[in-house]
């Protein structure tokens, strides 16, 4: 497998490609024009392109499936060079705002949800990605390419703002080196120029790696997939909670450098009859006391063969109300793309099932 040009920071390319102005041009082709191959790079000399083409490829991903939801969410399935597949999601967060004359007052706002691994080692009992086990880490370029491909496919100009959430397939902190490099590449001024503030790393709670990410001082936000308020249930849902228990995560969060105006997000996957009661809400308030936190309640999204059920709307609302009454900021993640296999791993699974059916 050849590395991609998207695997490198501008500094790294400068060490390999001379003269230096060509690097800036190439960066422009990659991140402003979303070049798919070397032929697209019109003002780069043929000899240089041939030389680079021997060592590198441009786009390591191929879109093999796309599902569009009525709410503007688009889910993509990508094929990697070794034919493995990963998902990324294009989420419309705010509609375009127009005046009566139809002129655009504010452009629509989007967030891209990216994957960091093929499969996942953590093995959460509620997660479809976990069912397939772990295959491999994604390279920095394969992470970066998800954003480049989604921006290209949606004709989203390079200078339009976009948020990135590392909430697709895989555990980002289990692939920390490549994750950190992708974050740096996204931040490049001559590239996509996406600041750390616009990037959120979601983790199932590897507390030692939360510390490590904090020390790297990349300016990113973290979101903690908490999902339970006591270690017994959390260990049932997330087996590695035995090694990184709730207390160790809370302590690591307290040490994490965050922008004074910002908050740490705690994700709480609500599962019917498991953690949707007000007793849990009460414990959650206590647990987060003293932390500038924001809670995001997520409806469990069932899939064929899943062991858990979606909570009722009433229980969800009551849970939220309790948290808000006790001073916590709390949102309910509206089930974006509910009609299109929304939760992580579900599009991949669907495609595999269909392939198996057609093979019979
Ligand atoms: N591994 C990281 C990031 C990827 S998982 C983590 O666990 O935080 C991204 C999110 O998808 C997690 O918050 C997880 O709880 C959620 N998720 C996984 N399976 C789900 C399901 N069946 N329904 C709803 N959310 C799910
Ligand atoms: Fe991995 Fe996150 Fe799925 Fe858990 S929820 S198995 S950590 S991807």
pLDDT tens, position by position, 257-287: 987 778 899 999 999 999 999 999 999 999 9
Q: Say what the pLDDT of residue 358 is.
A: 44
Provide the whole-model pTM. Answer: 0.93
pLDDT band at 353 (very low <50, low <70, confident <90, very high): low
Mean of pLDDT values over 22-37: 97
Give the sheet arrangement for strand 329-333, strand by strand. 62-68, 74-79, 85-94, 109-113, 163-166, 199-203, 221-225, 264-270, 293-299, 329-333
Residues with C-beta less than 6 Å from any ligand 2 atom: 120, 122-124, 127, 129-130, 169-171, 204, 344
Q: Say what the pLDDT of residue 346 is.
A: 59
Rounded CA gap, 322 and 111, in Å? Answer: 29
Nearest CA to ligand 2 atom 3: 127
Closest CA to 162 of 195, 125, 129, 133: 195
Q: Active-site residue 304, yes or no? A: no
Mean of pLDDT values over 40-60: 96
Q: How far is the CA of 130 from the centre of ligand 1 (A)?
A: 10
Closest CA to 251 of 203, 312, 198, 208: 208
Catalytic residue among 113, 124, 330, 344: 344
Of 4-13, 119-128, 329-338, the least confident: 329-338
Q: Active-site residue 232, yes or no? A: no
Residues with C-beta less than 6 Å from any ligand 1 atom: 126-127, 167, 171, 202-204, 225, 267, 269, 298, 300-301, 343-344
Q: Say what the pLDDT of residue 354 is.
A: 54
Catalytic residue among 87, 142, 184, 349: 87
In the chain, what is the straight-line distance between the N-terminal and C-terminal CA atoms, in Å?
A: 31
Q: Which residue has the higher pLDDT, 337 or 255?
A: 255
Domains and CATH numbers, the chain: 1-59 (1.10.150.530), 60-359 (3.20.20.70)
pLDDT band at 359 (very low <50, low <70, confident <90, very high): very low
Q: Say what the pLDDT of residue 111 is.
A: 92
Q: Which residue has the higher pLDDT, 341 or 192?
A: 192
Ligand 1 atom closest to the CA of 169, numbered from 1: 4
Supply the mean pLDDT for the chain.
92
Q: How far is the CA of 48 from the centre of ligand 1 (A)?
A: 43
Ligand nearest to the CA of 272: 1
Per the DSSP assignment, residues forming a β-bridge with 78 are 63, 86
């Amino acid at each position: 497998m050849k590395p991609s040009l998207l695997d490198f920071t501008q500094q790294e390319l400068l060490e390999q490609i001379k003269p230096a102005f060509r690097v800036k041009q190439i960066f422009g082709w990659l991140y402003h024009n979303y070049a798919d191959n070397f032929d697209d790079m019109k003002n780069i000399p043929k000899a240089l392109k041939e030389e680079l083409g021997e060592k590198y490829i441009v786009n390591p991903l191929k879109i093999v499936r796309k599902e569009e939801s009525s709410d503007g969410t688009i889910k993509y399935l990508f094929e990697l060079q070794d034919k493995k597949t990963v998902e990324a999601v294009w989420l419309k967060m705010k509609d375009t705002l127009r005046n009566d004359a139809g002129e655009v007052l504010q452009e629509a706002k989007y967030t891209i949800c990216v994957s960091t691994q093929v499969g996942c080692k953590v093995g959460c009992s509620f997660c479809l990605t976990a069912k397939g086990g772990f295959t491999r880490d994604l390279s920095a370029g394969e992470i970066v390419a998800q954003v480049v491909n989604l921006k290209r496919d949606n004709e989203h100009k390079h200078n339009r703002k976009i948020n990135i959430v590392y909430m697709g397939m895989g555990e980002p902190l289990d692939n920390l080196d490549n994750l950190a490099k992708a974050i740096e590449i996204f931040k490049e001024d001559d590239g996509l120029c996406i600041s750390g503030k616009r990037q959120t790393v979601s983790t199932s709670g590897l507390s030692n790696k939360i510390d490590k990410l904090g020390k790297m001082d990349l300016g990113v936000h973290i979101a903690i997939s908490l999902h339970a308020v006591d270690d017994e249930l959390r260990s049932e849902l997330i087996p590695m909670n035995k090694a990184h228990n709730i207390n160790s995560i809370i302590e690591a969060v307290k040490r994490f450098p965050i922008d004074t105006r910002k908050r740490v997000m705690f994700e709480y996957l609500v599962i019917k009859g498991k953690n949707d009661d007000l007793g849990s809400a009460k414990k959650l308030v206590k647990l987060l006391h003293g932390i500038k936190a924001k809670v995001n309640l997520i409806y469990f999204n069932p899939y064929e063969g899943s062991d858990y059920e979606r909570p009722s709307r009433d229980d969800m609302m009551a849970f939220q109300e309790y948290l808000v009454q006790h001073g916590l900021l709390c949102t309910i993640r509206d089930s974006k793309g509910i009609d299109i296999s929304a939760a992580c791993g579900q599009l991949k699974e669907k495609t595999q099932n269909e392939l198996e059916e057609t093979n019979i």
